[in-house]
Amino acid sequence: MLNDFSDNGCDTTAEEFTDLMTRLLNKAALIEREPVDTGDGVLLHTSEIHVIDMAGRFPDDSMTALALRLGITKGALSQTVKKLEEKEYVERVSPKGNNKTMYIRLTGTGMRAFSWHRAYHAAVNKRIARQVAGLGQKERDAIRNVLFGIEKVFDDCAETRRRITQELAEGGSTSLDIDSPGPAILK
């Protein structure tokens, strides 16, 4: 059976593992979608918190560099910065004589939000660290390898979808042979 890990002495199926991963990802997505009040009575969206975090951690980075760090366009960053300026969490500054390079500076309110975010992540990371503290190095390495493997699966999802769609369009069925080398083979 394709979904059975029994060859490795594990009675968990791939489907159960995938269900757990889906549940974890959905919970993480819910957390990311929920705006937070960092103590000033203003709701901040995740994208805004991430900009505040990057501006606090990398104050010498230009807006272009921060956009790269965040993996977003300069336009998207500029829109988020505009919202944060209106909420008085950040301000844009440029060096004298250089109107092309723009930096983001946290205001006092922005610094409090930055501190809140760092404290939140420290608390969450501490709880996660407790979950793995009792594991040996081999177990931690195994978990890390599984997570990197799952990341690779996620990286390949667009191509996998494309191949399955193509095979089905060519008259194949939905039984994917994942053990064969090369392109997906649908039976």
**pLDDT for 10:** 53
Instruction: Indicate if the pLDDT at residue 12 is higher than 80.
Output: no
Return d(Cα 72, Cα 151) in angstroms, integer: 20
Question: What integer best gives the mean pLDDT of the chain?
Answer: 87
Calculate mean pLDDT across residues 112-131: 95
Q: Is the pLDDT of residue 2 over 90?
A: no
Q: pLDDT tens-digit profile of 16-26?
A: 988 998 999 99
Q: Which range is least confidently modeled, 8-17, 75-84, 157-166, 175-184?
A: 175-184
Which domains does the chain carry? 34-133 (1.10.10.10), 147-187 (no CATH)
Distance between CA 181 and CA 8 in Å, rounded?
Answer: 22
Q: Is the pLDDT reported for residue 119 higher than 50?
A: yes
In terms of phi and psi (left: phi > 0; alpha: psi -120 to 50; beta: otherwise), the region of 14 is: alpha
84's tokens: 């944060």
- pTM for the model: 0.70
Average of pLDDT values for 69-84? 96
Distance CA(119)–CA(19), nearest Å, equals 31
SS3 content of the chain, % helix, strand, coil (to 5): 60, 10, 30
Q: What is the distance, to the nearest Å, from the Cα of residue 45 to the centroid of all Cα atoms in its chain? A: 15
Give the CA-trace dihedral at 100, 105, 114, 87, to 10 degrees.
-90
Beta partners for 44? 36
Higher-pLDDT residue of 81, 173: 81
Give the tens place of pLDDT for each residue, 142-166: 999 998 998 898 889 999 999 999 9
Confidence of residue 7 (pLDDT cuts 50, 70, 90): low
